[in-house]
Amino acid sequence: MSTTDTEKSAGTRSRRRARLTDTLEIDTRLLGMIGAFIAVLVIFNVLTDGRFLTPRNIFNLTIQTVSVAIMATGMVFVIVTRHIDLSVGALLATCSAVMAMMQTAWLPQYLGLPLGHPLIPWLAIAAGLITGALIGAFQGWLAGYLMVPAFIVTLGGLLVWRNTGWYLTNGQTIGPLDTTFQMFGGINGTLGETWSWIFGIVATLAALGALWFARRDKQRHGFQVKPMWAELALGGLIAAAILGFIAVLNSYPVPEARLRRMFEARGEVMPEGYTEAYGLPYSVLLLIVVAVVMTVIARKTRLGRYIFATGGNPQAAELSGINTRLLTVKVFAIMGALCAISAVVASARLTNHSNDIGTLDELRVIAAAVIGGTALAGGLGTIYGAILGALIMQSLQSGMAMVGVDAPLQNIVVGSVLVLAVLIDIIYRRRTGRG
Protein backbone atom coordinates (compact mmCIF):
# COMPACT_ATOMS: atom_id res chain seq x y z
CA MET A 1 0.00 0.00 0.00
CA SER A 2 1.36 3.44 -0.94
CA THR A 3 1.90 6.31 1.47
CA THR A 4 -1.08 8.15 -0.03
CA ASP A 5 -3.36 5.13 0.47
CA THR A 6 -2.15 4.78 4.06
CA GLU A 7 -2.90 8.43 4.76
CA LYS A 8 -6.36 8.10 3.19
CA SER A 9 -7.09 5.00 5.30
CA ALA A 10 -5.96 6.77 8.49
CA GLY A 11 -8.07 9.80 7.61
CA THR A 12 -11.12 7.59 7.02
CA ARG A 13 -10.69 5.88 10.41
CA SER A 14 -10.28 9.27 12.07
CA ARG A 15 -13.49 10.56 10.47
CA ARG A 16 -15.36 7.42 11.54
CA ARG A 17 -14.19 7.84 15.13
CA ALA A 18 -15.23 11.50 15.02
CA ARG A 19 -18.69 10.58 13.68
CA LEU A 20 -19.08 7.89 16.35
CA THR A 21 -18.01 10.35 19.05
CA ASP A 22 -20.48 12.93 17.79
CA THR A 23 -23.29 10.39 17.51
CA LEU A 24 -22.78 9.14 21.06
CA GLU A 25 -22.16 12.70 22.32
CA ILE A 26 -18.99 11.55 24.07
CA ASP A 27 -16.94 14.24 25.79
CA THR A 28 -13.47 12.86 25.14
CA ARG A 29 -11.88 15.34 27.51
CA LEU A 30 -14.17 14.25 30.34
CA LEU A 31 -13.34 10.63 29.59
CA GLY A 32 -9.65 11.52 29.79
CA MET A 33 -10.16 13.20 33.18
CA ILE A 34 -12.09 10.22 34.52
CA GLY A 35 -9.35 7.92 33.24
CA ALA A 36 -6.69 10.05 34.95
CA PHE A 37 -8.69 10.04 38.19
CA ILE A 38 -9.06 6.25 38.12
CA ALA A 39 -5.33 5.89 37.38
CA VAL A 40 -4.47 8.07 40.40
CA LEU A 41 -6.72 5.95 42.63
CA VAL A 42 -5.29 2.65 41.39
CA ILE A 43 -1.64 3.78 41.61
CA PHE A 44 -1.97 5.06 45.18
CA ASN A 45 -3.95 1.99 46.20
CA VAL A 46 -1.06 -0.18 45.01
CA LEU A 47 1.56 2.04 46.68
CA THR A 48 -0.33 1.97 50.01
CA ASP A 49 -0.97 -1.80 49.92
CA GLY A 50 -4.72 -1.37 49.47
CA ARG A 51 -5.23 1.27 52.17
CA PHE A 52 -6.08 4.12 49.79
CA LEU A 53 -9.39 2.69 48.52
CA THR A 54 -10.74 1.57 51.88
CA PRO A 55 -14.19 2.91 52.88
CA ARG A 56 -12.59 4.95 55.68
CA ASN A 57 -10.14 6.73 53.37
CA ILE A 58 -12.77 7.34 50.67
CA PHE A 59 -15.03 8.86 53.33
CA ASN A 60 -12.20 11.14 54.49
CA LEU A 61 -11.26 11.99 50.91
CA THR A 62 -14.80 13.17 50.13
CA ILE A 63 -15.16 15.41 53.17
CA GLN A 64 -11.69 16.88 52.56
CA THR A 65 -12.64 17.75 48.97
CA VAL A 66 -15.94 19.50 49.70
CA SER A 67 -14.70 22.96 50.73
CA VAL A 68 -12.46 23.47 47.69
CA ALA A 69 -15.00 21.86 45.34
CA ILE A 70 -17.78 24.23 46.41
CA MET A 71 -15.60 27.28 45.69
CA ALA A 72 -14.38 25.71 42.43
CA THR A 73 -17.94 25.72 41.07
CA GLY A 74 -18.03 29.48 41.55
CA MET A 75 -14.54 29.93 40.12
CA VAL A 76 -15.83 28.39 36.89
CA PHE A 77 -18.15 31.39 36.42
CA VAL A 78 -15.37 33.84 37.33
CA ILE A 79 -12.84 32.36 34.88
CA VAL A 80 -15.44 31.85 32.15
CA THR A 81 -16.10 35.61 32.22
CA ARG A 82 -12.35 36.17 31.76
CA HIS A 83 -11.66 37.22 35.35
CA ILE A 84 -9.79 35.63 38.25
CA ASP A 85 -10.35 35.66 42.01
CA LEU A 86 -7.26 35.38 44.18
CA SER A 87 -9.09 36.29 47.38
CA VAL A 88 -11.29 33.19 47.91
CA GLY A 89 -9.13 31.66 50.67
CA ALA A 90 -8.92 34.96 52.53
CA LEU A 91 -12.64 35.63 52.05
CA LEU A 92 -13.35 32.16 53.45
CA ALA A 93 -11.31 33.14 56.53
CA THR A 94 -13.27 36.37 57.02
CA CYS A 95 -16.63 34.59 56.68
CA SER A 96 -15.44 31.88 59.08
CA ALA A 97 -14.38 34.55 61.59
CA VAL A 98 -17.76 36.30 61.34
CA MET A 99 -19.66 33.05 61.89
CA ALA A 100 -17.42 31.99 64.77
CA MET A 101 -17.78 35.35 66.54
CA MET A 102 -21.54 35.30 65.96
CA GLN A 103 -21.80 31.93 67.70
CA THR A 104 -19.47 32.52 70.61
CA ALA A 105 -19.68 36.26 71.33
CA TRP A 106 -21.90 38.58 69.33
CA LEU A 107 -25.24 36.73 69.44
CA PRO A 108 -24.99 35.89 73.18
CA GLN A 109 -23.78 39.41 73.98
CA TYR A 110 -26.04 41.59 71.83
CA LEU A 111 -29.18 39.44 71.43
CA GLY A 112 -28.94 37.64 74.76
CA LEU A 113 -29.12 34.19 73.16
CA PRO A 114 -27.56 31.57 75.45
CA LEU A 115 -24.88 29.28 74.06
CA GLY A 116 -26.53 26.25 72.50
CA HIS A 117 -29.69 28.15 71.47
CA PRO A 118 -31.13 26.51 68.32
CA LEU A 119 -31.16 29.80 66.39
CA ILE A 120 -27.45 30.53 66.87
CA PRO A 121 -25.97 28.33 64.10
CA TRP A 122 -28.53 29.45 61.51
CA LEU A 123 -28.16 33.15 62.30
CA ALA A 124 -24.39 32.71 62.13
CA ILE A 125 -24.60 31.00 58.74
CA ALA A 126 -26.91 33.75 57.46
CA ALA A 127 -24.43 36.39 58.63
CA GLY A 128 -21.59 34.56 56.88
CA LEU A 129 -23.53 34.28 53.61
CA ILE A 130 -24.44 37.99 53.67
CA THR A 131 -20.83 38.92 54.45
CA GLY A 132 -19.44 36.78 51.63
CA ALA A 133 -21.98 37.97 49.05
CA LEU A 134 -21.49 41.65 49.93
CA ILE A 135 -17.70 41.45 49.82
CA GLY A 136 -17.87 39.52 46.55
CA ALA A 137 -20.29 42.08 45.07
CA PHE A 138 -17.97 44.92 46.19
CA GLN A 139 -15.01 43.31 44.45
CA GLY A 140 -17.16 42.73 41.37
CA TRP A 141 -18.19 46.41 41.42
CA LEU A 142 -14.56 47.49 41.51
CA ALA A 143 -13.74 45.20 38.58
CA GLY A 144 -16.93 45.78 36.57
CA TYR A 145 -17.77 49.44 37.06
CA LEU A 146 -14.45 51.05 38.03
CA MET A 147 -12.58 48.82 35.55
CA VAL A 148 -9.85 47.85 38.02
CA PRO A 149 -8.48 44.49 36.78
CA ALA A 150 -9.96 41.64 38.83
CA PHE A 151 -6.45 40.25 39.31
CA ILE A 152 -5.45 43.42 41.19
CA VAL A 153 -8.75 43.75 43.06
CA THR A 154 -8.63 40.22 44.40
CA LEU A 155 -4.88 40.27 45.00
CA GLY A 156 -5.53 43.22 47.28
CA GLY A 157 -8.50 41.33 48.71
CA LEU A 158 -6.24 38.41 49.56
CA LEU A 159 -4.32 40.69 51.93
CA VAL A 160 -7.27 42.74 53.16
CA TRP A 161 -9.72 39.95 54.01
CA ARG A 162 -7.14 37.58 55.51
CA ASN A 163 -6.16 40.26 58.00
CA THR A 164 -9.74 41.46 58.51
CA GLY A 165 -10.50 37.98 59.81
CA TRP A 166 -7.49 38.23 62.10
CA TYR A 167 -8.72 41.50 63.61
CA LEU A 168 -12.27 40.20 64.07
CA THR A 169 -10.93 37.45 66.34
CA ASN A 170 -7.96 39.35 67.80
CA GLY A 171 -5.77 36.66 66.29
CA GLN A 172 -7.27 33.95 68.50
CA THR A 173 -8.64 30.51 67.66
CA ILE A 174 -12.39 30.64 68.31
CA GLY A 175 -14.19 27.50 69.44
CA PRO A 176 -15.62 25.07 70.05
CA LEU A 177 -18.37 26.00 67.60
CA ASP A 178 -22.06 25.13 68.03
CA THR A 179 -22.73 21.38 67.85
CA THR A 180 -25.43 21.83 65.20
CA PHE A 181 -23.01 23.93 63.14
CA GLN A 182 -20.37 21.19 63.44
CA MET A 183 -22.69 18.75 61.68
CA PHE A 184 -21.77 20.40 58.35
CA GLY A 185 -18.14 19.39 58.77
CA GLY A 186 -18.37 15.74 57.79
CA ILE A 187 -17.87 13.06 60.40
CA ASN A 188 -20.01 14.85 62.99
CA GLY A 189 -23.01 14.94 60.68
CA THR A 190 -24.09 12.11 58.36
CA LEU A 191 -27.35 10.71 57.01
CA GLY A 192 -26.75 7.23 58.38
CA GLU A 193 -27.11 3.98 56.48
CA THR A 194 -30.87 3.92 55.81
CA TRP A 195 -31.28 7.55 54.75
CA SER A 196 -28.14 7.30 52.61
CA TRP A 197 -29.68 4.43 50.65
CA ILE A 198 -32.92 6.38 50.31
CA PHE A 199 -31.00 9.39 49.00
CA GLY A 200 -29.00 7.18 46.62
CA ILE A 201 -32.14 5.61 45.16
CA VAL A 202 -33.87 8.98 44.78
CA ALA A 203 -30.75 10.51 43.19
CA THR A 204 -30.48 7.58 40.78
CA LEU A 205 -34.12 7.88 39.72
CA ALA A 206 -33.70 11.65 39.31
CA ALA A 207 -30.60 11.20 37.14
CA LEU A 208 -32.28 8.56 34.96
CA GLY A 209 -35.37 10.74 34.70
CA ALA A 210 -33.24 13.70 33.61
CA LEU A 211 -31.67 11.55 30.88
CA TRP A 212 -35.09 10.40 29.67
CA PHE A 213 -36.62 13.88 29.59
CA ALA A 214 -33.56 15.29 27.85
CA ARG A 215 -33.91 12.63 25.14
CA ARG A 216 -37.62 13.34 24.74
CA ASP A 217 -36.93 17.07 24.53
CA LYS A 218 -34.36 16.55 21.76
CA GLN A 219 -36.74 14.32 19.82
CA ARG A 220 -39.54 16.86 20.16
CA HIS A 221 -37.36 19.58 18.67
CA GLY A 222 -35.95 17.37 15.93
CA PHE A 223 -32.40 17.07 17.22
CA GLN A 224 -30.24 13.97 16.83
CA VAL A 225 -30.30 11.62 19.82
CA LYS A 226 -27.97 8.88 20.93
CA PRO A 227 -28.85 5.25 20.12
CA MET A 228 -31.03 3.65 22.79
CA TRP A 229 -28.28 1.20 23.75
CA ALA A 230 -25.96 4.11 24.45
CA GLU A 231 -28.60 5.81 26.61
CA LEU A 232 -29.13 2.58 28.56
CA ALA A 233 -25.38 2.08 29.00
CA LEU A 234 -24.96 5.65 30.23
CA GLY A 235 -27.90 5.27 32.60
CA GLY A 236 -26.43 2.04 33.95
CA LEU A 237 -23.05 3.67 34.56
CA ILE A 238 -24.65 6.60 36.38
CA ALA A 239 -26.77 4.30 38.56
CA ALA A 240 -23.74 2.12 39.34
CA ALA A 241 -21.64 5.17 40.26
CA ILE A 242 -24.26 6.66 42.59
CA LEU A 243 -25.28 3.46 44.32
CA GLY A 244 -21.68 2.21 44.46
CA PHE A 245 -20.61 5.43 46.16
CA ILE A 246 -23.38 5.08 48.74
CA ALA A 247 -22.45 1.43 49.31
CA VAL A 248 -18.83 2.36 49.99
CA LEU A 249 -19.79 5.10 52.47
CA ASN A 250 -22.18 2.73 54.20
CA SER A 251 -19.32 0.26 54.56
CA TYR A 252 -17.50 2.59 56.95
CA PRO A 253 -18.73 1.67 60.45
CA VAL A 254 -18.89 4.04 63.39
CA PRO A 255 -16.24 2.93 65.93
CA GLU A 256 -17.66 1.04 68.90
CA ALA A 257 -16.23 3.50 71.43
CA ARG A 258 -17.96 6.39 69.66
CA LEU A 259 -21.25 4.49 69.58
CA ARG A 260 -21.03 3.83 73.31
CA ARG A 261 -20.47 7.53 74.00
CA MET A 262 -23.48 8.40 71.83
CA PHE A 263 -25.70 6.00 73.79
CA GLU A 264 -24.33 7.22 77.12
CA ALA A 265 -25.04 10.84 76.13
CA ARG A 266 -28.70 9.83 75.68
CA GLY A 267 -28.72 7.97 78.99
CA GLU A 268 -29.03 4.59 77.27
CA VAL A 269 -27.03 1.37 77.15
CA MET A 270 -25.76 0.22 73.75
CA PRO A 271 -27.20 -3.22 72.82
CA GLU A 272 -24.71 -6.04 72.49
CA GLY A 273 -23.47 -6.43 68.90
CA TYR A 274 -25.00 -3.13 67.76
CA THR A 275 -23.36 -1.57 64.67
CA GLU A 276 -24.00 1.56 62.70
CA ALA A 277 -22.51 3.07 59.51
CA TYR A 278 -21.71 6.71 58.90
CA GLY A 279 -23.28 6.95 55.46
CA LEU A 280 -23.39 10.14 53.38
CA PRO A 281 -21.98 13.22 55.17
CA TYR A 282 -24.12 16.37 55.24
CA SER A 283 -21.18 18.29 53.78
CA VAL A 284 -21.14 16.05 50.69
CA LEU A 285 -24.91 16.42 50.43
CA LEU A 286 -24.38 20.21 50.54
CA LEU A 287 -21.83 19.94 47.72
CA ILE A 288 -24.30 17.94 45.63
CA VAL A 289 -26.98 20.59 46.16
CA VAL A 290 -24.54 23.37 45.21
CA ALA A 291 -23.43 21.43 42.11
CA VAL A 292 -27.03 20.92 40.95
CA VAL A 293 -27.96 24.57 41.53
CA MET A 294 -24.85 25.87 39.76
CA THR A 295 -25.38 23.48 36.84
CA VAL A 296 -28.99 24.63 36.47
CA ILE A 297 -27.83 28.26 36.54
CA ALA A 298 -25.19 27.53 33.91
CA ARG A 299 -27.43 25.58 31.53
CA LYS A 300 -31.01 26.61 32.11
CA THR A 301 -31.07 30.29 33.08
CA ARG A 302 -30.58 33.63 31.37
CA LEU A 303 -27.79 34.45 33.82
CA GLY A 304 -25.89 31.34 32.76
CA ARG A 305 -26.31 32.11 29.06
CA TYR A 306 -25.09 35.66 29.66
CA ILE A 307 -22.05 34.40 31.59
CA PHE A 308 -20.90 32.10 28.79
CA ALA A 309 -21.78 34.59 26.05
CA THR A 310 -19.75 37.29 27.79
CA GLY A 311 -16.82 34.95 28.27
CA GLY A 312 -16.94 33.88 24.62
CA ASN A 313 -16.93 37.43 23.24
CA PRO A 314 -17.31 40.34 25.70
CA GLN A 315 -17.62 42.99 23.00
CA ALA A 316 -20.34 41.14 21.12
CA ALA A 317 -22.17 40.40 24.39
CA GLU A 318 -22.19 44.08 25.33
CA LEU A 319 -23.36 45.13 21.87
CA SER A 320 -26.20 42.58 22.09
CA GLY A 321 -27.55 44.33 25.19
CA ILE A 322 -25.97 42.33 28.04
CA ASN A 323 -25.00 44.51 31.01
CA THR A 324 -21.55 43.01 31.39
CA ARG A 325 -20.67 45.31 34.30
CA LEU A 326 -23.64 44.22 36.40
CA LEU A 327 -22.93 40.63 35.31
CA THR A 328 -19.44 40.92 36.81
CA VAL A 329 -20.95 42.07 40.12
CA LYS A 330 -23.34 39.11 40.12
CA VAL A 331 -20.61 36.58 39.32
CA PHE A 332 -18.35 37.82 42.12
CA ALA A 333 -21.30 37.97 44.55
CA ILE A 334 -22.02 34.29 43.78
CA MET A 335 -18.33 33.52 44.34
CA GLY A 336 -18.45 35.33 47.71
CA ALA A 337 -21.55 33.44 48.83
CA LEU A 338 -19.90 30.13 47.89
CA CYS A 339 -16.82 31.13 49.91
CA ALA A 340 -19.14 31.55 52.90
CA ILE A 341 -20.66 28.09 52.34
CA SER A 342 -17.16 26.64 52.12
CA ALA A 343 -16.29 28.46 55.35
CA VAL A 344 -19.17 26.65 57.05
CA VAL A 345 -17.80 23.28 55.91
CA ALA A 346 -14.15 24.06 56.66
CA SER A 347 -14.65 25.51 60.16
CA ALA A 348 -17.24 22.87 61.07
CA ARG A 349 -14.78 20.12 60.11
CA LEU A 350 -12.14 21.71 62.38
CA THR A 351 -14.84 22.40 65.06
CA ASN A 352 -13.33 25.89 65.45
CA HIS A 353 -12.12 28.95 63.56
CA SER A 354 -8.35 29.29 63.20
CA ASN A 355 -6.44 32.15 61.62
CA ASP A 356 -4.80 29.96 58.99
CA ILE A 357 -8.08 28.50 57.72
CA GLY A 358 -8.32 28.64 53.93
CA THR A 359 -4.60 29.37 53.45
CA LEU A 360 -3.60 28.69 49.82
CA ASP A 361 -7.18 27.66 48.99
CA GLU A 362 -7.22 30.25 46.20
CA LEU A 363 -4.54 28.28 44.38
CA ARG A 364 -6.30 24.95 44.95
CA VAL A 365 -9.61 26.35 43.75
CA ILE A 366 -8.16 27.86 40.57
CA ALA A 367 -6.22 24.65 39.92
CA ALA A 368 -9.36 22.53 40.38
CA ALA A 369 -11.32 24.66 37.89
CA VAL A 370 -8.51 24.66 35.32
CA ILE A 371 -7.76 20.94 35.67
CA GLY A 372 -11.51 20.42 35.29
CA GLY A 373 -11.47 22.02 31.85
CA THR A 374 -12.29 25.68 32.46
CA ALA A 375 -10.46 27.70 29.79
CA LEU A 376 -8.39 30.60 31.14
CA ALA A 377 -9.21 32.43 27.91
CA GLY A 378 -12.87 32.40 28.97
CA GLY A 379 -16.12 31.09 27.53
CA LEU A 380 -15.67 27.39 28.37
CA GLY A 381 -16.08 25.43 31.59
CA THR A 382 -18.29 22.95 33.42
CA ILE A 383 -19.39 22.57 37.02
CA TYR A 384 -18.88 18.80 37.10
CA GLY A 385 -15.41 19.26 35.59
CA ALA A 386 -14.39 21.60 38.42
CA ILE A 387 -15.60 19.13 41.05
CA LEU A 388 -13.73 16.31 39.35
CA GLY A 389 -10.65 18.55 39.24
CA ALA A 390 -10.96 19.14 42.99
CA LEU A 391 -11.21 15.38 43.55
CA ILE A 392 -8.10 14.76 41.47
CA MET A 393 -6.18 17.43 43.39
CA GLN A 394 -7.24 16.08 46.79
CA SER A 395 -6.54 12.49 45.73
CA LEU A 396 -3.01 13.45 44.71
CA GLN A 397 -2.34 15.23 47.99
CA SER A 398 -3.92 12.56 50.17
CA GLY A 399 -2.20 9.77 48.31
CA MET A 400 1.22 11.39 48.55
CA ALA A 401 0.70 12.04 52.26
CA MET A 402 -0.16 8.38 52.82
CA VAL A 403 2.90 7.27 50.88
CA GLY A 404 5.09 9.57 52.97
CA VAL A 405 6.00 12.22 50.40
CA ASP A 406 7.28 15.43 52.02
CA ALA A 407 5.02 18.51 51.84
CA PRO A 408 7.39 20.51 49.59
CA LEU A 409 7.50 17.67 47.06
CA GLN A 410 3.72 17.37 47.22
CA ASN A 411 3.43 21.02 46.19
CA ILE A 412 5.95 20.48 43.39
CA VAL A 413 3.88 17.57 42.03
CA VAL A 414 0.58 19.46 42.29
CA GLY A 415 2.08 22.51 40.55
CA SER A 416 3.50 20.33 37.78
CA VAL A 417 0.15 18.61 37.32
CA LEU A 418 -1.55 22.00 36.99
CA VAL A 419 0.84 23.16 34.25
CA LEU A 420 0.55 19.79 32.48
CA ALA A 421 -3.26 19.96 32.64
CA VAL A 422 -3.28 23.42 31.02
CA LEU A 423 -0.86 22.25 28.32
CA ILE A 424 -2.98 19.19 27.56
CA ASP A 425 -6.10 21.37 27.47
CA ILE A 426 -4.48 23.79 24.99
CA ILE A 427 -3.42 20.92 22.71
CA TYR A 428 -6.88 19.33 22.97
CA ARG A 429 -8.69 22.54 22.06
CA ARG A 430 -6.37 23.18 19.10
CA ARG A 431 -6.95 19.71 17.67
CA THR A 432 -10.71 19.73 18.22
CA GLY A 433 -11.20 23.38 17.26
CA ARG A 434 -13.08 24.11 20.52
CA GLY A 435 -11.16 27.17 21.60
Please tell me the predicted confidence (pLDDT) of residue 421: 78
Please tell me the predicted confidence (pLDDT) of residue 17: 52
Cβ partners under 8 Å of residue 386, min gap 6: 69, 72, 73, 75, 76, 368, 369, 372, 374
Report percent pLDDT > 70 for the chain: 93
Please tell me the predicted confidence (pLDDT) of residue 262: 83
Distance CA 212, CA 275 (A): 39
Please tell me the predicted confidence (pLDDT) of residue 266: 83
Please tell me the predicted confidence (pLDDT) of residue 29: 76
Please tell me the predicted confidence (pLDDT) of residue 2: 55
Amino acid at 125: I
Distance CA 150, CA 359 (A): 20
With H, G, I as helix, E, B as strand and everything else as coil, classify residue 279: strand
Please tell me the predicted confidence (pLDDT) of residue 414: 82
Please tell me the predicted confidence (pLDDT) of residue 135: 98
Helix locations, 357-404, DSSP H? 361-371, 383-403
Overall size of the chain counted in residues: 435
Domain annotation for the chain: domains and CATH numbers:
29-41+49-189+281-432 (1.10.3470)
Question: Which portions of the chain are predicted below pLDDT 50?
Answer: none
Enumerate the β-bridge partners of residue 279: 192
The count of other CB atoms within 10 Å of the CB of residue 109 is: 10
| DSSP summary character for residue 178 | P
Please tell me the predicted confidence (pLDDT) of residue 280: 96
Please tell me the predicted confidence (pLDDT) of residue 4: 58
The count of other CB atoms within 10 Å of the CB of residue 19 is: 10
What is the model's pTM? 0.92
With H, G, I as helix, E, B as strand and everything else as coil, classify residue 174: strand
Distance CA 164, CA 132 (A): 13
Distance CA 245, CA 274 (A): 24
